[in-house]
Amino acid sequence: MSGNRIVVYKGPGEVAVENFDYPTLELPQEVAEGLGIKRSAPHAVILKLVTTNICGSDQHMVRGRTTAPVGQTLGHEITGEVVEVGDDVLFHSVGDICSVPFNIACGRCRMCNEGQTGICLNVNPARAGAAYGYVDMGGWLGGQAEYVMIPYADFNLLKFPDRDEALEKILDLTMLSDIFPTGYHGAVSAGVTTGSTVYVAGAGPVGLAAAYSAQLLGAATVIVGDMNADRLRQAESFGCAAADLSKGDALADIIADIVGEPEVDAAVDAVGFEARGHGHDAAEAPATVLNDVMSVARAGASLGIPGLYVTGDPGAVDEAAKHGQIGVRLGLGWAKSHRLVTGQCPVKKYNRQLMNLILADRAHIAQAVGATTISLDQAAEGYAQFDAGAAQKFVIDPHGMVS
């Protein structure tokens, strides 16, 4: 193979597809040197991308709302076909089609052994946890590409049992790399169970996945809050109730109109640090959603927080928020004995079971999140439409393998 093409951040609001070398079975130099380990990676495979998705987390970087440098490669939602196998890979073969958790995990450290693969200790010298194509996440090349290297393949890859079935259901299966497990994790972390009333803040793809997951878990009523009418209609399309926050009405009153009381059993923050206040022209107020979910969750509730919060935001509304310090009403959460669950979803905890639901035709997550296929060369257009509020989940098809 002569080369590889990868989507790259070029500055606020701009991405481009650029040429790179074809990947090798080697760890990023900064990982190997920073951790004092060998760079050669016989435990790795090379994947030919079947699908790779644009994520809201990518969009934070592209908006210039992280410390991502120009030239940062993008893409952590990866589904691919094995085309090269390292000598130490025992259980995967050329031709396998696999889902890749966005968390890079060694499978050897204390955190991995405890199932906390989102905070692996051996894949990022700077901090616990790593991901493909993301700022401060270890320097791993992004997967919005033609090809990508996957380390510790026997541990990380989820092989689909049947190639033809996988390609037939690929728009559902591509969501296993991130947003379906992440949304499900948000709902599980919030304690959603049979008969729960649930509020999900945010009708982007992760919020829609969380709402859909709450239904899978048996919720009686799922309310999705947003200010984007198209995205609220998408939530309503699979049976959720919509809370239109653009009108400035009190969230508790909206919830009371739907469930008969101004609180819910479980709440999920699927928005994160770029939250805005209520009302059509409301300014950015990064603690809005966290305060909302504490306000409307009943006493003793759990709050699932899959929405992203960062430690560095150069575009923040004030100096404190630039360092991840925001005005959360922690006293309210303390008074109500809330349990807050944050951080990366440990994808491997859920992806196999969710795969089984898809293959059994019990979960249609692509329809719920509005999956829309584009080519690699249309990545910039997909980012622009997503940033403008499209009620779609853009799935990049680099090699024309999606029927």
Question: If pLDDT is split at 50, 70 and 90, which confidence band does 140 have?
Answer: very high
Q: Are 210 and 192 in contact (CB under 8 A)?
A: no
Q: Distance from CA of residue 367 to its chain's centroid?
A: 17
| H or E stretch at 123 | none
Question: Is 218 domain-assigned?
Answer: yes
| Judgement on whether residues 261 and 162 belong to the same structural domain of the protein | no
| Judgement on whether residues 104 and 23 belong to the same structural domain of the protein | yes
Q: Is 6 left (phi over 0), alpha (psi -120 to 50) or beta?
A: beta
| Judgement on whether residues 235 and 350 belong to the same structural domain of the protein | no
Asked if pLDDT for residue 204 goes beyond 70, the answer is yes
Amino acid at 301: A
| Judgement on whether residues 87 and 194 belong to the same structural domain of the protein | no
Question: Is 402 domain-assigned?
Answer: no
| pLDDT attached to residue 2 | 77
Q: 341, 367, 385 — which closes off a domain? A: 341
Asked if pLDDT for residue 202 goes beyond 60, the answer is yes
Q: What is the pTM of this model?
A: 0.97
Count of domains forming the chain: 2
| Judgement on whether residues 331 and 272 belong to the same structural domain of the protein | yes
Give tens-digit pLDDT for 245-286.
Answer: 999 899 999 999 999 999 999 999 999 999 999 998 899 999
What is the domain extent for residue 293?
Answer: 182-341
| pLDDT attached to residue 281 | 87
Question: Is 167 domain-assigned?
Answer: yes
Amino acid at 265: D
| Judgement on whether residues 202 and 137 belong to the same structural domain of the protein | no
| pLDDT attached to residue 31 | 97
- Residue 284 burial (C-beta neighbours within 10 Å; 0-12, 13-18, 19+): middle
Asked if pLDDT for residue 1 goes beyond 60, the answer is no
Q: Which residue shows structure tokens 């790795």? A: 44
What average pLDDT does this structure show over 332-353? 97
Quick one: what percent of the chain has pLDDT higher than 90?
A: 99
| Judgement on whether residues 16 and 51 belong to the same structural domain of the protein | yes
List, edge to edge, every strand of the sheet that includes 241-244. 241-244, 221-226, 197-201, 266-269, 302-304, 339-341
Written as six digits, the tokens of 328 are 């959360």
Mind giving me the DSSP string for 255-277? Answer: HHHHHSSS-BSEEEE-S-TT-B-
Domain of residue 110, CATH code: 3.90.180.10
Question: Is 401 domain-assigned?
Answer: no
| Judgement on whether residues 319 and 371 belong to the same structural domain of the protein | no
Domain of residue 280, CATH code: 3.40.50.720
| pLDDT attached to residue 403 | 86
CA dist 39 and 301 (Å) reads 46
Give tens-digit pLDDT for 359-386.
Answer: 999 999 999 999 999 999 999 999 999 9
For all residues of the chain together, what is the average pLDDT? 97
CA dist 179 and 25 (Å) reads 27
| H or E stretch at 376 | none
Give tens-digit pLDDT for 39-98.
Answer: 999 999 999 999 999 999 999 999 999 999 999 999 999 999 999 999 999 999 999 999
Extended strands (E) in 145-220:
147-150, 158-159, 197-201
Q: What is the DSSP letter of 297?
A: B
CA dist 85 and 94 (Å) reads 7
| Judgement on whether residues 15 and 149 belong to the same structural domain of the protein | yes
| Judgement on whether residues 253 and 361 belong to the same structural domain of the protein | no
| Judgement on whether residues 88 and 42 belong to the same structural domain of the protein | yes
What average pLDDT does this structure show over 125-130? 96
| Judgement on whether residues 61 and 157 belong to the same structural domain of the protein | yes
Whole-number Cα distances in Å, 105 to 35, 94, 153, 198, 337? 14, 22, 9, 32, 33
Question: Is 63 domain-assigned?
Answer: yes
